[in-house]
Amino acid sequence: MLNRPLEKPDSAHPQQLQAEARARLIMRAVWGGYVVAGLLTLFFQIIIRLQECVGLPACAASLGKAVFWSIVWPFYWVFYFNL
């Protein structure tokens, strides 16, 4: 039988805390990059699509597609490059 004091469930070793902090930092960078790529894509899509606007319904549909692509496009590149 081991004579170790019982650890509290919420206490963690310093190495575990550092690993968790590092993982959070990496995920924050990944999501931050995704947001930046999405905003750049939205900006580019709006510029391109505004040049082709003819009427309000067509323009609204085109700008709606711009928002959709700004969300989907950066995610697509991750799979395209097999990252």
pLDDT, one tens digit per residue, over 6-31 is 555 556 678 888 888 899 999 999 88
Its pTM stands at 0.61
Report whether 62 contacts 49 (CB < 8 A): yes
Spell out the domain ranges in the chain. 20-80
The full DSSP string for 19-81 is HHHHHHHHHHHHHHHHHHHHHHHHHHHHHHHHTT--SHHHHHHHHHHHHHHHHHHHHHHHHHT
Mean pLDDT of the chain: 81
pLDDT tens, position by position, 28-59: 998 898 888 888 888 988 888 888 788 888 88
Letter for the amino acid at 75? F
Q: Are the C-beta atoms of residues 34 and 70 closer than 8 Å to each other?
A: no
Phi, psi angles (nearest 5°) of residue 54: -115, -50
